[in-house]
């Protein structure tokens, strides 16, 4: 019987690892479709000022059908809404809103959740007790209800929505990270680091976290998608970002009463949201597939 | 087992305390606007002050909290500011309505997603698996409000097959349930289907099943007798948790179709800072959450002999 | 004609009839003033018709006359409207709750959809020349739904309730002319002594079982209009003794009976065959609550779940046109939104800045952009063409050159940064703010729009230096100035204080003769316009969508529902 030899692998640089990951994505069609969708919207968001034919809040001609031409040769490719604003431009600029707030909120929620999860899983004892209890309490509350109560009381603004999202998402993330930490803390390299005398902080951030990234990345993609929908729902219920800035959920809310006669005002933002969320979902699915194949 | 349940009950009580306190704190952030919401924008400072005083808003927070708590323990949930009736009068009928809506939705979701999930899991990698998986992912990407608007435009305005709202004003009308249920089903079945699929696929690859197939047992018998039982453990707990999700998920649907349910009630209460109503709804939400979680955990233990809770 | 010598008529009526004959006053004005002064509507129409030749009973007003138009009996009318809690009419604070109540409770006067006020529960009335003593003659033989006879005791009971501070009714500020104030000895939070306002002794006098006399401490021209304001419904004299809650004990004089009432859900009314005004057409009325979701009402109408919607926002009109079974009821109103500037806050202290803002408006374009051109352009002085005492005063048109010059003179040659607060709902107000902001850009005024949730906005609406405030319809031209532009008025959001303006306003509010009043109003309007206190783009029309079968429904500018002459084809 051969003893497994202690292989000490050199750590690849961050760049190399990301490159490897991206190349790995190639193997999954699902992931590629997801990446294209997300990438498309990121592109739109970044180059919004160049792409949008009109100012998003400028009022021109109410209820114009898609394809209507306007003075100066410009065309309302997707028509205008009830206040005469170009739908296409609003969707383009709206992507900025979505792709700013959703990833930001998710990222911050992750920061909080990761810190809490690492501590709970690694340090255990009373840290774990308290953090787990708190997260259980927040988790046992239906999520949307939580959002509504928070926003309805502290008011709707970008900052408040982000705070609400962090508050509602961090416990779930904490749970996942905690579970992963519990699993990973028993690995050899952790023990090795402890013997070397590294601090707990080092071990948590340098040894454990990077090795937990697989499931976390998948979860992150899914979660961003879900946050996008949540922001959309809040906008739909009238609790979203204050007008007039374009926000896809708000756009759908403002125009849905007239969707029968002028469907273009409502359908295109719906397609926008769905496609972006789909992108993230497919990406997550593809990543999961890849990790299982390995 | 009994100990476990008792522990859970205790935990539920603690959670209820924590949540109710938290809600009180949250609503304390801007108390003045309650008076404005009740009395209207054109009320005077004087009128608002009088109203706030009459309703006890100038007393210290702790006093108000414990007064409310005391009342709750004797069964008095307080008076709704918005509806001006005792909270109980409006909460329980609405909760029943949501239960009806939820039950109808589940009556469709469960067979649909389990069925599709099993088929997909059985034939992992095949065309039907692909089709089902893609459909599931796509439908979960479409937000409820989007499908609500879409279905309403098609079935109410264009085809005129279905009524536009679900207020049940003229008594219970089954037709009015169709659209809300459709929206809930479309959004939720995908998730459960995919969970079922992965669970089923995993079970199909276990040595136990492969042995049974190799031994020559007919495939469908293998599936029905052996695979299903193991495969459905996971989805069953997921479904339990979906009941909890439902309390959130119905809000959009009830709002859009004017269905007089718990979700719409909570939304309206929150928008109007109707504190006692919000508290009561929050308590209900916590109870539902903990109960479903507990049932899921117990079921998981029971159904899967390899796992035990300490 | 005998009418000239009729001593029971107010002495002014023959004068104004004379004016009408000479063409100095139009028929509409005669009708309005004559009915205001106590002539019955039928008589007034008759007289006007005789004097000017030809029958002039317009079919639209048929529902307010005793002549019965043709209609089908029977059927249920389903209306989509918020069903709000209603207990005490005197404390009503939303129109919707008064609509359910209005089917079984009635008022001393009624202002129709044509903005003309007529006597209702009172048969006719008389007023002294100084407008301080009003005598109301009530109908006789009118029965409450519990069998009691309606008489002066009921009316006196209601007035006493409204003026009692313990009731907490907004009617108290409506009828300040019948109250006195006395210090209570306590101090308010701002250090000023707290005053208690109560009914002035002798303000309400019972002459006999069917006659009530009101003694005011100052002349009030608009008393009849005030007595149709939605919290002034007349309740039974034993209302307070029997629980003080009309949703549980709906005793009324009106054409319907409340048979079912569930807050937030529905209200059901059944017809009273023995109604004193004639049997109503509809058997039943059902109010259905569809929540705060405006799309739901529309969807309900489209799928024939309701026959009428309380109010339809302007964006939905095109949709209603596409629904084959629906039609739009429209009415011109004095509803508006004003971009008002506080004259004691910089930079609005300088009249030139305010005028510059005013001059940026293209009223008609703003009406088109914000309200689909449904309405009438306004003239920045808050008196509407639909007001009988309106004096036409077209203001200057959009003038960028002058605006820029004024700004430069005021020291803002490089432009000016402003912030306007407006509320999120209804959406036309936001789009108005946006359109206005776009219009001010060319002169260098950069307006940032702060859209606030309605609840927050209602906290600060009268405190912000620059805000967009919506004002509702009031039947007479001098009513809003009294509430908003008089020095120290309760809702004076602009802190405008001009003794000259107040003086003329006093005169206008007590002038009976419409022609002279118009002259006062003209002066008043031009002062406010000159002082550029507000930028007022337009007066808007309001809409209600309903099924084509609904006949006889007239949309009231305040959306008051009076449904006994409505029938279903």
Strands C416-423 and C445-452: parallel
| Helix segments in C164-216, DSSP class H | 171-174
Which comes out higher in pLDDT, residue B91 or A123? B91
Q: What is the DSSP string of A21-58?
A: HHHHHTT-HHHHHHHHHHHHHHHHHHTHHHH-SS-TT-
Q: Write down the pLDDT at residue A280.
A: 92
Least confident of B102-111, B173-182, C26-35, C368-377: C26-35
Residues on chain C touching B260 (C-beta within 8 angstroms): 264-265
Closest CA relative to residue C212, chosen from C135, C140, C158 = C135
Q: Write down the pLDDT at residue C65.
A: 43
Q: Which of A60-64, C37-41, C515-519 has the highest mean pLDDT?
A: C515-519
**A168 min Cα distance to partner chain C (Å):** 23
Model ipTM value: 0.80
Distance CA C141, CA C418 (A): 62
Residues 2-21 of chain B with CB under 8 A from chain A are 11, 14-15, 18-19
Whether pLDDT at C285 is above 90: yes
Contact at 8 Å (CB) between C112 and C64?
A: yes
CA-nearest residue to B243 within chain A is A142
Residue percentage of chain C with pLDDT more than 70: 88
Residue written as tokens 């260098």? Answer: C444
Contact at 8 Å (CB) between B91 and B281?
A: yes
Contact at 8 Å (CB) between B243 and B292?
A: yes
Distance CA A54, CA A64 (A): 14
| Partner-chain contact A137 B18, CB within 8 Å | yes
Task: Extract the tokens encoding C332.
Answer: 């011109």
Residue percentage of chain C with pLDDT more than 90: 14
CA-nearest residue to C453 within chain B is B271
Q: Is residue B125 within 8 angstroms of chain A, CB to CB? A: no
Q: Is residue A262 within 8 angstroms of chain C, CB to CB? A: yes
Residue written as tokens 């939400």? Answer: B285
Q: Tell me the pLDDT of chain B (310 aa) as tens digits.
A: 788 888 888 888 888 888 888 877 777 766 666 766 666 666 666 667 777 777 777 777 788 788 888 888 887 888 887 888 888 888 998 999 999 999 999 999 999 998 888 888 877 778 888 888 888 889 988 888 888 888 888 888 778 788 877 777 666 778 888 889 999 999 888 888 888 888 887 777 778 777 877 887 777 776 677 777 777 777 777 888 788 888 888 888 998 888 888 988 888 888 777 888 888 888 888 888 888 888 877 777 776 655 444 3
Select from C303, C318, C325, C422 the residue whose CB has the most chain B CBs within 10 Å, as the one to mutate to test that interface. Answer: C303
Q: Write down the pLDDT at residue B33.
A: 67
Whether pLDDT at C60 is above 50: no
Closest CA relative to residue B189, chosen from B254, B261, B109 = B109
Q: Write down the pLDDT at residue C54.
A: 46
Q: Using 50, 70 and 90 to split pLDDT, how confident is the model at C344?
A: confident
Q: Closest CB to C299: pick one of B85, B156, B169.
A: B156
| Partner-chain contact B83 C265, CB within 8 Å | no
Residues on chain C touching A64 (C-beta within 8 angstroms): none
Q: Is residue A136 within 8 angstroms of chain B, CB to CB? A: yes
Q: Is residue A152 within 8 angstroms of chain C, CB to CB? A: no
Q: Write down the pLDDT at residue C265.
A: 86
Contact at 8 Å (CB) between A136 and A128?
A: no
**C357 min Cα distance to partner chain B (Å):** 26
Q: Closest CB to C298: pick one of A57, A82, A257.
A: A257
Residues on chain A touching C430 (C-beta within 8 angstroms): 243-244
Least confident of B237-241, C118-122, C275-279, C558-562: B237-241
Find the helix packing angle between B87-122 and B262-271, rounded to 10°: 120
Q: Closest CB to A236: pick one of B27, B150, B252.
A: B252
Residue percentage of chain A with pLDDT more than 90: 12
Task: Extract the tokens encoding A248.
Answer: 């896809």
Distance CA B44, CA B62 (A): 28
Work out the average pLDDT over C114-141: 86
Distance CA B125, CA B203 (A): 15
List C394's β-bridge partners, or say none. Answer: none
In whole angstroms, what separates CA A47 from the centre of its chain?
Answer: 20
Contact at 8 Å (CB) between C476 and C444?
A: no
Q: Write down the pLDDT at residue C546.
A: 92
Q: Using 50, 70 and 90 to split pLDDT, how confident is the model at C67?
A: very low
Q: Write down the pLDDT at residue A247.
A: 82
| Partner-chain contact A156 C302, CB within 8 Å | no
Select from B27, B141, B294 the residue whose CB has the most chain A CBs within 10 Å, as the one to mutate to test that interface. Answer: B141
Q: Is residue C442 within 8 angstroms of chain A, CB to CB? A: no
Question: Rg of chain C over CA atoms, in angstroms?
Answer: 24
Give pLDDT tens digits for C179-196: 887 777 666 656 666 677
Give pLDDT tens digits for A21-62: 666 666 677 888 888 999 999 999 899 888 888 887 777 777
Contact at 8 Å (CB) between C446 and B23?
A: no
Q: Closest CB to B251: pick one of A144, A155, A252.
A: A144
Residues 85-144 of chain A with CB under 8 A from chain C are none
Q: Which of A66-75, A113-122, B158-167, C48-57 has the highest mean pLDDT?
A: A113-122
| Partner-chain contact B30 A153, CB within 8 Å | yes
**B26 min Cα distance to partner chain C (Å):** 16
| Helix segments in C218-284, DSSP class H | 223-226
């Amino acid at each position: 019987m051969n003893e497994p030899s202690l292989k000490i692998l050199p750590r690849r640089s961050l760049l190399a690892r990301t490159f490897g990951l991206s190349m790995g994505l190639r193997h999954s069609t699902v992931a590629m479709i997801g990446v294209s969708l997300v990438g498309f919207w990121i592109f739109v968001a970044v180059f919004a000022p160049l792409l949008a034919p009109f100012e998003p809040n400028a009022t021109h001609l109410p209820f114009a059908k898609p394809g209507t031409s306007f003075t100066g040769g410009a065309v309302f490719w997707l028509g205008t809404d009830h206040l005469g604003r170009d739908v296409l431009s609003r969707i383009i600029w709206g992507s900025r809103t979505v792709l700013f707030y959703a990833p930001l909120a998710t990222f911050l929620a992750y920061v909080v959740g990761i810190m809490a999860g690492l501590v709970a899983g690694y340090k255990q004892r009373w840290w774990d007790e308290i953090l787990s209890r708190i997260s259980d309490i927040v988790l046992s509350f239906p999520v949307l209800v939580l959002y509504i109560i928070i926003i309805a009381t502290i008011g709707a603004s970008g900052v408040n929505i982000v705070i609400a999202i962090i508050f509602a998402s961090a416990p779930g993330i904490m749970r996942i990270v905690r579970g992963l930490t519990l699993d990973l803390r028993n690995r050899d390299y952790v023990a090795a680091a402890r013997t070397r005398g590294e601090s707990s902080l080092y071990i948590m951030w340098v040894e454990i976290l990077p090795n937990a990234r697989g499931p976390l990345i998948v979860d992150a993609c899914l979660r961003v998608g879900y946050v996008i929908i949540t922001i959309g729902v809040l906008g739909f219920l009238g609790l979203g970002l204050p007008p007039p800035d374009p926000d896809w959920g708000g756009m759908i809310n403002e125009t849905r009463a007239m969707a029968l006669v002028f469907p273009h005002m409502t359908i295109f933002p719906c397609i926008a949201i769905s496609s972006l969320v789909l992108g993230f979902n497919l990406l997550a699915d593809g990543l999961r597939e890849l990790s299982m194949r390995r | 087992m009994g100990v476990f349940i008792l522990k859970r009950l205790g935990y539920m009580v603690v959670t209820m305390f924590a949540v109710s306190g938290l809600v009180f704190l949250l609503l304390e952030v801007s108390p003045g606007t309650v008076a404005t919401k009740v009395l209207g924008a054109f009320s005077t400072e004087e009128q608002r002050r009088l109203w706030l005083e009459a309703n006890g808003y100038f007393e210290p927070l702790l006093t108000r909290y414990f007064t409310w708590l005391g009342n709750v323990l004797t069964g008095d949930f307080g008076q709704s500011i918005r509806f001006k009736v005792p909270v109980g009068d409006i909460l329980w009928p609405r909760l029943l309505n949501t239960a009806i809506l939820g039950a109808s939705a589940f009556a469709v979701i469960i067979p649909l997603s389990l069925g599709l999930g099993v088929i997909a899991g059985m034939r992992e990698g095949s065309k039907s698996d692909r089709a089902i998986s893609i459909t599931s992912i796509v439908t979960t990407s479409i937000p409820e409000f989007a499908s609500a608007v879409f279905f309403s435009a098609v079935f109410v305005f264009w085809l005129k097959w279905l009524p536009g709202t679900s207020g049940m004003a003229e008594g219970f009308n089954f037709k009015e349930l169709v659209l809300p249920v459709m929206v809930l089903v479309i959004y939720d079945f995908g998730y459960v289907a995919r969970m079922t699929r992965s669970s089923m696929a995993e079970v199909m690859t276990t040595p136990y099943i492969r042995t049974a197939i190799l031994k020559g047992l007919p495939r469908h018998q293998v599936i029905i007798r052996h695979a299903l039982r193991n495969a459905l453990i996971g989805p069953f707990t997921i479904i339990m948790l979906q009941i909890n999700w439902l309390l959130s998920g119905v809000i959009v649907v009830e709002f859009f179709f004017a269905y007089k349910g718990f979700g719409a009630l909570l939304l309206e209460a929150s928008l109007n800072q109707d504190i006692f109503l919000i508290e009561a709804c929050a308590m209900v939400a916590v109870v539902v959450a903990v109960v479903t979680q507990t049932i899921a955990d117990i079921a998981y233990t029971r159904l899967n002999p390899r796992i035990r809770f300490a | 004609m005998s009418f000239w010598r009729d001593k029971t008529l107010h002495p002014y009526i023959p004068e104004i009839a004379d004016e009408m004959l000479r063409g100095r006053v139009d028929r509409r004005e005669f009708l309005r003033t004559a009915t205001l002064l106590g002539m019955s509507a039928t008589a007034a129409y008759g007289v006007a018709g005789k004097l000017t030749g030809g029958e002039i009973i317009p079919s639209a007003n048929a529902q307010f006359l005793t002549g019965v138009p043709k209609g089908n009996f029977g059927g249920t009318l389903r209306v989509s409207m918020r069903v709000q809690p209603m207990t005490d009419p005197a404390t009503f604070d939303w129109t919707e709750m008064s609509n359910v109540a209005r089917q079984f409770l009635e008022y001393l006067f009624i202002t129709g959809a044509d903005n003309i006020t007529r006597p209702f529960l009172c048969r006719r009335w008389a007023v002294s020349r100084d407008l301080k003593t009003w005598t109301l003659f009530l109908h006789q033989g009118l029965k409450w739904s519990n069998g009691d006879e309606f008489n002066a005791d009921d009316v006196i009971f209601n007035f006493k309730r409204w003026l009692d501070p313990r009731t907490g009714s907004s009617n108290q500020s409506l009828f300040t002319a019948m109250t006195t104030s006395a210090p209570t000895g306590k101090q308010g939070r701002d250090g000023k002594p707290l005053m208690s306002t109560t009914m002035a002794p002798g303000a309400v006098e019972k002459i006999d079982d069917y006659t009530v006399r009101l003694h005011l401490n100052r002349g009030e021209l608009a008393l009849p209009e005030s007595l149709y304001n939605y919290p002034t419904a007349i309740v039974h004299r034993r209302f307070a003794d029997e629980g003080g809650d009309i949703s549980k004990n709906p005793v009324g004089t009106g054409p319907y009976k409340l048979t079912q009432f569930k807050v937030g859900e529905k209200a059901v009314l059944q017809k009273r065959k023995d109604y004193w005004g004639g049997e109503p057409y509809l058997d039943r009325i059902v109010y259905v609550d569809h929540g705060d979701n405006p799309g739901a009402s529309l969807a309900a109408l489209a799928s024939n779940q309701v026959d009428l919607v309380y109010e339809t926002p302007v964006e939905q009109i095109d949709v209603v046109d596409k629904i084959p079974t629906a039609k739009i009821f429209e009415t011109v109103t004095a509803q508006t939104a004003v971009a008002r500037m506080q004259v004691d806050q910089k930079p609005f202290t300088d009249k030139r800045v305010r005028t510059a803002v005013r001059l940026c408006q293209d009223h008609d374009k703003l009406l088109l952009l914000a309200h689909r051109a449904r309405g009438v352009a306004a003239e920045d002085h808050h008196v509407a063409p639909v007001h009988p005492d309106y004096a036409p005063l077209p203001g200057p048109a959009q003038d960028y050159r002058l605006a820029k010059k004024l700004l430069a003179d005021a020291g803002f040659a490089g432009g000016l940064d402003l912030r306007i607060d407006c509320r999120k709902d209804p959406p036309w107000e936001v789009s108005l703010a946006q359109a206005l902001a776009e219009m001010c850009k060319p002169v260098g005024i950069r307006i940032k729009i702060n859209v606030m949730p309605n609840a927050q906005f209602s906290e600060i609406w009268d405190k912000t230096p620059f805000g967009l405030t919506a004002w509702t319809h009031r039947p007479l031209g001098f009513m809003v100035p009294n509430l908003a532009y008089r020095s120290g008025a309760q809702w004076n959001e602009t802190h405008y204080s001009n003794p000259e303006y107040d003086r003329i306003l006093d005169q206008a509010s007590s002038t009976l003769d419409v022609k002279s009043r118009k002259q006062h109003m003209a002066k008043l309007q031009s002062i406010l316009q000159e002082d550029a206190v507000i930028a007022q783009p337009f007066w808007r029309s309001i809409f209600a969508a309903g099924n084509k079968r609904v006949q006889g429904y007239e949309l009231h500018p305040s959306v008051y529902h009076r449904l006994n002459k409505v029938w279903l084809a």
